[in-house]
């Protein structure tokens, strides 16, 4: 298991449920802010990831770059006030394992750009906190933290 | 209020293009910022300049720097304008002119819209003003090259391993 960088937190997914922490299930690193405050009860988490350990791409792959651009260009504005938080799922400093979009209400998940890479599973969730969406246009990661988390500020 | 190099830029708090309340420091998030005050969607000069900025965002997205645009357009108008530009950065709406008089940036020659005077600032991550541009005349605005130079200069001073 990779070292957990500052600003990251563990989240496990077994294909049918999410657990904060390092298991059981496949472990991902997420933007820690998504798990650090008062959780939004009764939310909906669209998990675009697979429990299969081989389901991974490099963050630098063009399709993984583009899906983050799409998130900032139209996915986040489309969700508006319904958005609770959004985080990619990092496996280590370089590899992407998926993404999670969390909303207060059900939305048209067919639009989720992250589902182009790994298919989405919709789960009810009381885990996630409200986090302001990324300001843009930065799509790079900060010191290995899952986008849009992390900062170079002291 | 002095908006000059070396001064701290005021702590703007305005709704973004989705209507969500945002603070300038939160949008900077430890990175340098290009902060632009724009008349609004209707102005051909703004359309041209923001297309230039939308082209430049491909560099900002990999360079750990932020772009923020402020105008008096309502959030839903900004959202449409932003989508048309293909922009992926944040627009802030001062439709209520809450910050405009405090900043002293009213464009007095447009009594129909009462917009911001086109102005731009490059900011350090702590929101200290690095450079200011008065874009009332179009040629006074920062070019893409000006913004590159400013982002380079700021990054050189705030990134410890920038050689």
Average pLDDT over residues B2-19: 96
State how far the Cα of B55 lies from the Cα of B57, in Å rounded to an integer.
Answer: 5
Task: Give the E-state strand segments of A2-151 in sequence order.
Answer: 8-13, 18-20, 26-31, 43-49, 57-58, 83-90, 95-103, 120-125
Report the complex ipTM: 0.89
Chain A residues with CB under 8 Å of B68 CB are: 135
B chain contacts of residue A76, beta-carbon cutoff 8 Å: 18
d(Cα B67, Cα B122) in Å, to the nearest integer?
Answer: 9
Query: Does B29 contact A69 at a Cβ distance shorter than 8 Å?
Result: no
Query: How many interchain CB pairs under 8 A, A with B?
Result: 77
Provide the pLDDT for residue A2: 67
Whether B19 has its CB under 8 Å from any CB of chain A: the answer is: yes
Q: Which residues of chain A have pLDDT under 50?
A: none
Quick one: which H or E segment has residue B92?
strand B90-93
In chain B, % of residues over pLDDT 90: 95
- Domains within chain B, CATH numbers bracketed: 13-158 (3.40.30.10)
Is there a contact between B66 and A74 if contact means CB atoms under 8 Å apart? no
Distance from CA of A105 to the nearest CA of B (A): 16
Q: Is A152 on the interface with B (CB under 8 A)?
A: yes
Q: What are phi and psi of A63, to 5 degrees?
A: -70, -25
What's the mean per-residue pLDDT of chain B?
96
* Whole-number CA gyration radius for chain A: 14
**A135 interaction partners in chain B (CB closer than 8 Å):** 22, 26-29, 66, 68, 89-90
Measured in degrees and rounded to the nearest 5, phi and psi for residue B115 equal -90, 180
Judge: A136–B79 Cβ closer than 8 Å, yes or no.
no
| Cα nearest neighbour of A84 on chain B | B20
Question: Hey, is the C-beta of A82 within 8 angstroms of any chain B C-beta?
Answer: no
B30 touches chain A (CB under 8 A): yes
Selected for mutation to probe chain B from A137, A141, A144 (highest B CB count within 10 Å) is: A137
- Nearest partner of A102 among A117, A119, A88, A116, judged by Cα: A88
B102-121 pLDDT, tens per residue? Answer: 999 999 989 999 999 999 99
CB A77 to CB B79 under 8 A? Answer: yes
* Cβ under 8 Å to A: B residues 95-154: 125
Domain boundaries, chain A: 8-125
Check if A43 contacts B (Cβ < 8 Å): no
Residue A104 near chain B (CB below 8 Å): no
Q: Which residues on chain A are in Cβ contact (under 8 Å) with B60? A: 137-138
Q: What is the pLDDT of residue A29?
A: 96
Helix residue spans in chain A (DSSP H): 62-70, 76-79
* pTM of the predicted structure, to 2 decimals: 0.94
pLDDT of residue A125: 94
pLDDT in tens, B55-79: 999 999 999 999 999 999 999 999 9
């Amino acid at each position: 298991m990779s070292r957990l960088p500052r600003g990251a937190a563990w989240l496990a997914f077994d294909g049918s449920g999410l657990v904060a922490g390092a298991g059981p299930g496949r472990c991902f690193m997420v933007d820690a802010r998504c798990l650090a405050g008062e959780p939004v009860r009764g939310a909906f988490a669209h998990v675009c990831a697979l429990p299969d350990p081989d389901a991974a791409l490099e963050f630098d792959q063009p399709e993984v770059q583009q899906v983050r651009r799409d998130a900032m260009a139209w996915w986040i504005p489309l969700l508006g006030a319904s958005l609770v938080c959004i985080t990619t799922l990092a496996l280590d400093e370089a590899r992407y394992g998926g993404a999670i979009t969390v909303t207060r209400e059900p939305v048209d998940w067919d639009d989720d750009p992250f589902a182009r890479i790994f298919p989405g599973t919709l789960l009810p969730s009381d885990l996630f906190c409200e986090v302001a969406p990324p300001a843009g246009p930065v799509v790079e990661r900060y010191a290995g933290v899952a986008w849009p988390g992390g900062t170079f500020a002291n | 209020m002095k908006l000059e190099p070396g001064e701290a830029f005021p702590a703007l708090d305005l709704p973004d293009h989705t209507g969500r309340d945002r603070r300038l420091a939160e949008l900077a998030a430890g990175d340098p910022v290009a902060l632009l005050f724009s008349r609004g969607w209707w102005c051909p000069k703004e359309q041209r300049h923001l297309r230039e900025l939308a082209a430049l965002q491909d560099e900002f997205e990999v360079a750990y720097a932020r772009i923020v645009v402020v105008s008096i357009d309502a959030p839903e108008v900004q959202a449409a304008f932003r989508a048309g530009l293909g922009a992926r950065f944040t627009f802030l709406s001062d439709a209520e002119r809450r910050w405009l008089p405090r900043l002293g940036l009213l464009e007095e020659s447009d009594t129909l819209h009462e917009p911001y005077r086109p102005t731009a600032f490059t900011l350090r991550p702590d929101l200290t003003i690095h450079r200011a541009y008065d874009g009332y005349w179009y040629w006074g605005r920062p070019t893409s090259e000006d913004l590159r130079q400013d982002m380079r200069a700021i990054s050189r001073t705030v990134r410890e391993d920038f050689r």
